[in-house]
Every structure is written in structure tokens, then in C-alpha cells.
Amino acid sequence: MKLLSRAGFAGLFICAAALFAACSESNTATETTVVVETTVSEVAYPVTAGGITLDAQPMRIVSLSPTHTEMLYAIGAGDQVVAVDEYSNFPAEAVALGTKLSGYEPNVESIAGYEPDLVVISYDPGNLVEQLNALDIPVYIGNGASSLEQAYEQIEQLGALTGHLDVAVQLTSQMQTDIDAAVAASSASATAMGEPITYFYELDNTYYTVTSNTFVGQIFKLFGLENIADGVEEGNDYPQLSSEVIVSKNPKMIFLADTKCCAQTPETVSVRDGWQKMDAVVNKNIVQLDDDIASRWGPRVVELVKSISDALALVAAGN
Amino acid sequence: MLRATDNFAPRAGTRVAYLSLVSFALLTIAVLVGTMIGPAGPQWWRVPIELANRLPLITVDSGVSPEEWNIVWQIRMPRVVLAVLVGAMLSVAGASYQGVFRNPLVDPYLLGVAAGAGLGATLVFTLRRSATENWLIDPLPLAAFVGGLVAVFATYMIGNTFSKARSSATLVLAGIAVTSLTTAVQTFVLQRNNDVVRQVYSWILGRLSSATWGDVRLILPYVVFSCGVLLMHRRLLDVLRVGDDEATALGMNIRRVRLTVVLAATLGTAAAVAVSGLIGFVGIIVPHTVRLIVGSSYRRVLPMSILCGAIFLVLADIPSRILADPAETPIGVVTAFFGAPFFLLLLRVRKNQA
Amino acid sequence: MSTLGFCDLSIAYDGVIAVNGFNDILHSGEWLCLIGPNGAGKSSVLRAAAGLVKYSGSVAIDQKEIPATSAKWRAQHIAFVPQSPLMPENMSVYEYVLLGRNPYIKHFASESIHDKQVIEKVLMRLDLTQFAKRMVGTLSGGERQRIVIARALAQEAPVLLLDEPTAALDIGHQQQALELVDDLRREHGLTVVSAMHDLTLAGLYADRLVLMHQGSCVASGDAQTVLRSETLAEFYGVSARVHHEADGTVVVIPQRANSN
């Protein structure tokens, strides 16, 4: 009887698991491409960067962080990557690998199954580094950057570790140049308005937002934009604002970072109760951002900067 | 003339001995299976050969490379051993709580261990971003452990303040109050730090996937001590089955027994929770199933819960690591999947009995 | 064989006095029955002697006062049969009676050969041997009463306290239970104190009756002395006649208001 009930459980369980697998999210790859030269340069190993030392050039890299996947491909280490996590949806070559490791619930055995000589993560969900080190697998941890400088540092560290330091340095200086140019171009638009431009940055459709202390908040600060969420809740950099507060603060611009997760568009925003009379809605200054680009601190941050710059130009033109 | 001890005790004793032997054998098999199955590493049939090879005086070529063996020994083994420890601990703690509170629906998280540990873990996750990467000891299990103990301590204090009698019902109510309050605080903290929600959620679901030998060494003394103390009290839990009054009239100091059992069970549970998160249902499913097999006497239920709890969690960990390959399914989800049908079955069995 | 003495026993619940200075001495082998209306304090006296409620004054066995701190000592000398014992459904009769040996088994130890011998003797004496492996939940009311007495007997205590032992039994089982207690009393020299509602039965089996009212003893003596219709009318508020049988049995017969 016990055996039968165990078999019963197993059966029920398998059905449920199948259901579970069927309902998992699907990824969408974005269309934009970043073109970078791939050079294989002579680098002297062993190399120490980012807190770890590698004795030889890593040829079997596993990345569990979508941001760092983008960095690796951008600095020309794409051929050295053998597996990425389920959320690494850019660039297309990464998706083409067909691997779907998990960065949040990592299965160490599966990771080890790829025989990696370098694993790149953005956070340790618990003992992951210890477990990988027990298998003599070096782990590079690139915590969420809180500034552009940190982002550049991580790109260059990965460059050093993978043997593409020159490409990495080239990339970061290019990024810096592009960003500075975009900011400079818009400073004209920003000052033309007279008063500082306020904005609301929407993380999801329940009005979670970010303050200027966050990475993406700092990008906006470069343009002199003012975040309506600053100072609302001391100590909380990801507050949830109420609809009333947002409407009463009446930001001039709204940036939607929930276009992919929550299907928000300027149309859906404009039909929200009480939002119709807002400046941003009336003047149609609602900017759609790609969720992924807005949440990562890799090379595509330049695109984010350009989106903001373009949007500012429109605002200026509208006035 | 009937010889004393002829009729009643020995037959029961041999049946229990037989069952224990079978359970132990099953546990060994479960552990073996647990080490053989995984998403990577050596082929499953090579593992027992290599295990035999590692025994002293036996040399056999299994064809397992050092890297593959490393996966088995460094990643899989600690996980299986942790499953044994945590499964045994949660089961025996659940059974003990059921004995002390005379309520079959009680689990080891009753007096607030889970909520307290959850709050401790949440606080560490929110602090971790800034401060704790370079601490000497991992703050997470420590905070969970301390949080669990503090919550149960608070429950006891509240129970004592509001009722001189220190009855079991008062303690349960106090436990509910502490759990509610602690969960509310945790929710508030999460609300203000919602970038760690995912990590906290993941921790709460319970996992053995991050098991290391360090974790095993960390909780082994607590689990062994706790199980030992609880086993020593099994006859006393049987005396408690006739109620507080009658047990007192039979010469038992019920307050001391209750306190000792709760303390021991809480200590072990807090340790288990500290490294594996909140794995639910084990503390209820296993003792009840054990009762169906060996009857309701705690002298049999406690030791069998230890063995069967270990078997259950070791086996539950296998789908946890291969179902969503290459990701993990938190083991709390697996045990929950067993939980719901189990309760339905329990309802049906009881309906037939009544 | 032990004497039992109550000296100035007083019990209060939340400031309300339930028993007010109860005094009595039982010589060994005596059967005392406490009678009285609801709330008179009969159960409280028994529960105090069993160590279940706080009391002031003293309870002494063989002139030795029971220490408040040692539940074990008390359980070895006083066995208590409660009014509504909790019967765990899935416990075997053997295990249930084994509980009676708790005062003698070391805290963390198991029962010894001697303990097992005692249990088997008790089971045999009470005709429960064939029930040994049966679950308590499958027994009838009368059988359950027997196993509770068996458990009390297994305690090998010289004093036996019975709180309403016949409350849930039919007339046949009532007689069986009380006859059993009486037999055991003579065999083992037990000193028995019981609290009972049925006055005729109380008079029939007890050596002496104590009538309690509002926490105090208002009458004490044998059945003929205590069971008088005017006494009963005064303290129970009942209208009853008392009939004396030829063999000395006192029968209490309630009277209807318009009886003829």
C-alpha cells in the first residue's frame, strides 16, 4: 500500500512538473547589434583581475549574468563562452548556444558539467562560489554596478581575464566618448527649457521606481534630469509610489522600463485614471525603454543614454 | 503459568527491530541512489564501483575521472548527507512537538522558528549588499539560527506572561502571535528593500542545492545533540498522551519535560533551517506516515521518524536536482507537492476510521 | 497499608474559596466517601491530594506530609482515577497500564522486568489479559473503567482516590466496578477515598461518609448517621425518604412533590 501511494505521488508529481515546465517564460531576443572587432591578442598569463587569478586563457566560460554575457561578447570573448543562463538573451550568439542555466537557483552539477575554466556571476545566491571553488573552478563576481566607472572597471577586468584587455579598454573609452557626446548634445535641450526637467521612471505597472542613487538613476542625473522619487522614502532606493503622488508631482517625462515584462505603452499609460491631464501624457513625452537595456550595466548602456538624449531632443522640439 | 514478559513486550520489540533494520537498509539504498543520480558527473552505475574503490582494502577500477569524482564528493555527497540530517531533524522535531502539544497537526515551525529564521535571513540579505561580504563567518546561517531561537524564546515569554498555568494551548497561541508579528516585520523590511525579494523568496522555499561540507559540519553537532535528547524523552512523550492532569498525577513534571523537549527540538530545527531554509511538510508528513506503519507510541514513532525523515528528504532531493535541469527546483516545492495529496489521503483514512 | 490525613486543607480558585479547612483522618484500609452537592468541594479535595491543584494545609500519609515538590513520591503513594480520563485511541491496553509504572521508572529509562511483571499481574487480576494488545479506542465503557483502575493499581500506591467512578457506567457496570475496588481494597489493604453522587451506592460501599457543603464538612459518620432525610433536605435541597433495609443498607428514595 505504501508502494502504491508512493507511485501515486510520483505520478502526480511528474504531471505537475510537466505543467510547470510548460508554463515557464520564453525569451525574446532584441534586434539591435553591437559591432565590435574581435582580436586575439597575446596576453601574458597568469592574470589577476577582479579578485581572481587565471593561469591560462579561459576557453570554456560559463556566464550566469545577462549583463556580463553582453560584456563578454562585446569584448570579443564570445567564442570562449560555452554556456549562459536563461536570461542571457543578447546577443543572438549567446541565445544560439541553447543553454538555459539558472543564475538564481543554480544547479552546480549542471554548471560543472560544462567543464568551465571560468564562471561569471553577478551575485552569489548562497555558497555558489564556495561550491565551485571546491571543484577548482574560478569564479568572477561582478556585483551590480552603482556607477558607470564600476561598469567600465568590470568590462576591463573581464577583458584582462579573457585575454582581450586591449579590446575592452577600447570599448570602454568608446562608450565614454559616446555617452559624453550624447550628454553634451542634450545639455542644449535641457537648458533650453529653463527649469529642470522632472521625470518618472517606471519599473513595473505597480509603480515601483528607482531613485537617483541607483545606476540607472545616475545615468539620468548626467542629463540634469530630476527624479520625482528622490527623497520620497529615505533609505529605500526602489520605492513604490502611489498613483496620487505621481500625478501630483506631474513629471514632464515618463520613462517606461516595463514595456517587455508588463506590456506598458504610451497608450496604456494615457488611459490610467487621473493620468490624462499630466504634462507627460498631454505632450506625449512618454519614452518606451527596453527592459533589459535599462536594467543592465553592460555595453548597451550607451543605447539607453542615446534613447534619453533623443527623447530630450523631442521634448525641446515640442516646446 | 505465564512467564512474565513472555506475551506482550518481546513480540512488539522484535517487530520494531525488524522495521528499524528495514528502514536502515532503505536509508542506505536511498543515500546510494542519491549519490548516483545527478545532471552531470560520472555515469550512475560507476558511482557505487568508485565508492567501493574508496573503501580501505578494496581496489577496483571504475573509470571515473578525478574531476567527475570531485563533483560527486564535493557537490553531491554533502547534499545527500545534509538531506539525511535535515530530514531526520525536521521529522523528529515534528513528532516531538505533536507529542508535547497533543495535536497531530503541529509542525516544528509552530512556535515561531520559521518566522524568526526568515526574519533573520531577510535582514542579512538586506545588509549584505553593503557590509558583509568580507565577514569571517557567513552571517546568513547565524542570523537564521539566532532569529529562530529568539522567536521561540519570545513565544515562551509571552506564554508565561499571559498564563500562569503555562498550558500547551497558551504556548500555541503565543506562537501564532509571534509568527504573525515577525512575518509582518519581515514583509515591511522586504517592502523597503524589494531588490532582495527574489533572494529571500528563494531562501524561504528551502534548498539543499547550496550544501557544502562546511554546512554539514556546522549543523551536525546540533542535530545529533537534539535528536539524542528527543530520543531520550520518548517514553515520557507517551505518558503525556493522557493529558497534563493525569501525567502529573502519574508523577511526571510536565513543565520540565515540555520545556526540555521544546528546547531540544527548537535547537535542532533552527540549525536545520539555518542552512537549508524553510522546508515544509516534512515535520507533518513523515511522523503521520510513520504512525500508520508502527502505531502511535512515541517509543517507536521517534526513532522511525528519524530514519524515515532522512529517507524522505534524500529521495525528494533527487527530483529537485534533475526536474528543471539545468536549474534547480527548490526542495520546498517538491515536499509541498507531496504535502497536498498526503493530506487528502489522511482525510480519507480518517474518514474510514471514524 | 497506610493512613491518610488531611489537616486544615484549604483550596481557593482565583480568590474564591472552594474548600475551607478540611480535616479528616483515615485509618489504613478504610473507604471514605465524600458526598455533597455540586460545587461542595469534593473533587477539589481529591485533586489536591493528587497534586493537581495548589492547596494550603497538608496531606499526610502515615503521618508524613507529602512534599509539594516531588510528584514522583506522591504518585508512588497516591493513585488517582479521574472522573473523565483521557483515553488515547491508539494506545494498547498494555501500554496504558504501563503508564501506571511511571513513578518507578527512571526518567530516561525503560521499564524493567519487575515493572513488566507487575503489569502482567494486574492485567490477570482484572481479567484484562486478552485485551492486552487491543487498542483503548476499541473498548467499551465498562472495559475502559477497568483499565483505568488497572493503571491505578499498577502504581502500587497504598492510597486510591476515585473521582465519580460510576458516573459514566450503567447500573451493572457500576456494581462491577465498585465490587472490584472493594475486593482490591481488601486484598492489598488500600485506603480509598471516593467522591460520589449516588448516595445509596456511597452508603453501600464506603465505611464512612463525609457530607460536604460549600467547602466545609457538615456531617461525618456511617451511612445511617449521615443519610437522613432532613440532612439531605438541608444540604441538597432534595425531598427524599431514607429507608433502612433489614441488612442495614440505607436507601435514599427521592420523593415527587405530589406523591401518594
List of long-range contacts for C173-179, beta carbons under 8 Å, 24+ apart: C173/C141, C173/C142, C173/C145, C174/C198, C174/C201, C176/C142, C177/C142, C177/C145, C177/C146, C177/C149, C178/C204, C178/C205
Q: Kindly report, residue by residue over C225-246, the tens digit of the pLDDT.
A: 999 999 999 999 999 999 999 9
Highest-confidence segment of A299-303, B126-130, B196-200: A299-303
Tell me the sheet residues that pair with C253: C241
Q: DSSP state, C66? A: P
Q: Judge: B248–C52 Cβ closer than 8 Å, yes or no.
A: yes
Is C86 near chain B, with CB under 8 Å? Answer: yes
Q: What string of H, E and C letters represents the secondary structure of C180-219?
A: HHHHHHHHHCCEEEEECCCHHHHHHHCCEEEEEECCEEEE
pLDDT over threshold 80, residue A7: no
Task: State the pLDDT at residue A253.
Answer: 92
| Mean pLDDT, rounded, for C64-86 | 92
User: Which residue is closest to B320 within chain A, CA to CA?
Assistant: A107
Asked which of B54-68, B268-282, C148-162 is least confident by mean pLDDT, the reply is B54-68
pLDDT over threshold 50, residue A15: no
Could you tell me the pTM of the whole model?
0.85
Residues of B in contact with C78 (CB under 8 A): 249
Asked which of B50-59, B293-302, C59-68, C150-159 is least confident by mean pLDDT, the reply is B50-59
pLDDT over threshold 70, residue B129: no
Q: Judge: B40–A236 Cβ closer than 8 Å, yes or no.
A: no
Task: State the pLDDT at residue A319.
Answer: 57
Q: Kindly report, residue by residue over A203-221, the tens digit of the pLDDT.
A: 988 899 999 999 999 999 9
Q: How far apart are CA C237 and CA C239, in angstroms?
A: 7
Note whether A306 and A179 are within 8 A (CB): no
Domain B30-353 part of CATH 1.10.3470.10: yes
Q: Where residue A192 falls among pLDDT bands split at 50, 70, 90?
A: low
Retrieve residue C24's grid coordinates.
479528616
Using CB atoms, list chains with 3+ pairs below 8 Å to chain A.
B
Domain regions of chain A by residue span: 28-34+41-163, 168-318
Q: How far apart are CA A156 and CA A164, in angstroms?
A: 9
Separation in Å, CA of C236 to nearest CA in chain B: 29
User: Which residue is closest to B10 within chain C, CA to CA?
Assistant: C116
Q: Residues of chain A with pLDDT > 90: what percent?
A: 56
Rounded to two decimals, the ipTM of the complex is 0.91
Q: Judge: C102–B295 Cβ closer than 8 Å, yes or no.
A: no
| Mean pLDDT, rounded, for B44-71 | 86
pLDDT over threshold 50, residue B24: yes
Domain regions of chain C by residue span: 4-254
**Phi/psi at B178 (5° precision):** -65, -40
Q: How far apart are CA A86 and CA A89, in angstroms?
A: 7
User: Which residue is closest to C134 within chain B, CA to CA?
Assistant: B8
Asked which of A287-301, B52-66, B160-174, C136-150 is least confident by mean pLDDT, the reply is B160-174
Q: Residues of chain B with pLDDT > 70: what percent?
A: 91
Q: Kindly report, residue by residue over B148-164, the tens digit of the pLDDT.
A: 999 999 998 888 887 66
Q: How far apart are CA C76 and CA C85, in angstroms?
A: 19
- Vertex B284 angle, CA B342 and B301, to 5°: 110
Task: State the pLDDT at residue A37.
Answer: 42
Retrieve residue C118's grid coordinates.
507487575
Q: Judge: B249–C88 Cβ closer than 8 Å, yes or no.
A: no
Task: State the pLDDT at residue B2.
Answer: 42
Separation in Å, CA of A40 to nearest CA in chain B: 29
Task: State how far the alpha carbon of B177 is from the alpha carbons of B172, B182, B204, in Å.
Answer: 9, 9, 20
| Residue of higher predicted confidence among C37 and A194 | C37
Burial class (CB in 10 A: 0-12, 13-18, 19+), B352: exposed
User: Which residue is closest to A7 within chain B, CA to CA?
Assistant: B338
Task: State the pLDDT at residue B60.
Answer: 83
Q: Judge: C51–B249 Cβ closer than 8 Å, yes or no.
A: yes
Ordered alpha helix ranges (H), B73-212? 77-101, 113-128, 139-162, 168-192, 197-205
DSSP B157-187: HHHHHH-TT--HHHHHHHHHHHHHHHHHHHH
Q: Where residue B7 falls among pLDDT bands split at 50, 70, 90?
A: very low
Other Cβ atoms within 10 Å of B293 Cβ, number: 14
Q: Judge: A109–B334 Cβ closer than 8 Å, yes or no.
A: no
pLDDT over threshold 80, residue A18: no
Q: Where residue B59 falls among pLDDT bands split at 50, 70, 90?
A: confident
A4 Cβ partners below 8 Å, 6+ apart?
Answer: none
Separation in Å, CA of B38 to nearest CA in chain A: 7
Q: How far apart are CA B141 and CA A126, in angstroms?
A: 10
Is A133 near chain B, with CB under 8 Å? Answer: no
| Residue of higher predicted confidence among B130 and B353 | B353
- Tell me how long chain A is: 319
What is the longest distance spanned by two Cα atoms in chain B?
79
| Mean pLDDT, rounded, for B77-101 | 96
Retrieve residue C227's grid coordinates.
443519610
Domain A28-34+41-163: which CATH class? alpha beta
- Vertex B36 angle, CA B33 and B42, to 5°: 170
Q: Judge: A12–B337 Cβ closer than 8 Å, yes or no.
A: yes
Separation in Å, CA of C19 to nearest CA in chain B: 20
Q: Judge: B71–A102 Cβ closer than 8 Å, yes or no.
A: no
B325 Cβ partners below 8 Å, 6+ apart?
Answer: A107, A110, B39
Residues of C in contact with B7 (CB under 8 A): 120, 129, 132
User: Which residue is closest to B329 within chain A, CA to CA?
Assistant: A105
Q: Where residue A126 falls among pLDDT bands split at 50, 70, 90?
A: confident
Task: State the pLDDT at residue B353.
Answer: 61
Task: State how far the alpha carbon of C131 is from the alpha carbons of C3, C146, C151, in Å.
Answer: 34, 11, 14
What type of residue is A277? K
**Phi/psi at A83 (5° precision):** -155, 145
Q: Judge: B252–C71 Cβ closer than 8 Å, yes or no.
A: yes
Q: Residues of chain B with pLDDT > 90: what percent?
A: 52
Note whether B247 and B129 are within 8 A (CB): no
Asked which of A24-28, A275-279, B280-284, C81-85 is least confident by mean pLDDT, the reply is A24-28
Q: Judge: C82–B4 Cβ closer than 8 Å, yes or no.
A: no
Q: How far apart are CA A130 and CA B272, in angstroms?
A: 19
Is C142 near chain B, with CB under 8 Å? Answer: no
Is A21 near chain B, with CB under 8 Å? Answer: yes
The answer to whether chain A touches chain C by having 3 or more C-beta pairs less than 8 angstroms apart is no
Q: Judge: B246–C155 Cβ closer than 8 Å, yes or no.
A: no
| Mean pLDDT, rounded, for C10-20 | 92
Task: State the pLDDT at residue C23.
Answer: 94
| Mean pLDDT, rounded, for A247-273 | 90
What is the longest distance spanned by two Cα atoms in chain A?
81
Residues of A in contact with B41 (CB under 8 A): 109, 112-113
Query: Out of 3.40.50.300, 3.40.50.880, 3.30.2040.10, 2.30.40.10, which CATH number does the structure's domain C4-254 have?
Result: 3.40.50.300
| Mean pLDDT, rounded, for C58-69 | 89
Asked which of B28-32, B343-347, C175-179, C197-201 is least confident by mean pLDDT, the reply is B343-347
Residues of B in contact with C96 (CB under 8 A): 242
Mean predicted lDDT score pLDDT of chain A:
84
pLDDT over threshold 60, residue A31: no
Task: State the pLDDT at residue A254.
Answer: 93
For cell 527623497, name the residue.
Answer: A231
Sheet holding A61-63, edge to edge: A81-84, A61-63, A118-121, A139-141
Task: State the pLDDT at residue B54.
Answer: 84
Task: State the pLDDT at residue A33.
Answer: 38
Task: State the pLDDT at residue B10.
Answer: 47
Q: Kindly report, residue by residue over C88-134, the tens digit of the pLDDT.
A: 989 999 999 999 999 999 989 999 999 999 999 999 999 999 999 99
Residues of B in contact with C90 (CB under 8 A): 291, 295-296
Q: Judge: B296–C52 Cβ closer than 8 Å, yes or no.
A: no
Separation in Å, CA of B201 to nearest CA in chain A: 11
User: Which residue is closest to A130 within chain B, CA to CA?
Assistant: B212
Task: State the pLDDT at residue A39.
Answer: 44
Architecture of the domain made up of A168-318: 3-Layer(aba) Sandwich (3.40)
pLDDT over threshold 80, residue A42: no
Separation in Å, CA of B243 to nearest CA in chain C: 7
Task: State the pLDDT at residue A1.
Answer: 40
User: Which residue is closest to B256 within chain C, CA to CA?
Assistant: C107
Residues of B in contact with A111 (CB under 8 A): 326
Residues of A in contact with B334 (CB under 8 A): 13
**Phi/psi at B47 (5° precision):** -60, -50
Is C14 near chain B, with CB under 8 Å? Answer: no
Is A113 near chain B, with CB under 8 Å? Answer: yes
Sheet holding A198-202, edge to edge: A226-227, A198-202, A253-256, A286-288
Q: How far apart are CA B209 and CA B275, in angstroms?
A: 10
Residues of B in contact with A105 (CB under 8 A): 202, 207, 209, 324, 327-330
Task: State the pLDDT at residue B135.
Answer: 67
| Mean pLDDT, rounded, for B303-310 | 95
Q: Residues of chain A with pLDDT > 70: what percent?
A: 84
| Mean pLDDT, rounded, for A302-308 | 93
Separation in Å, CA of B263 to nearest CA in chain A: 28
Is A236 near chain B, with CB under 8 Å? Answer: yes
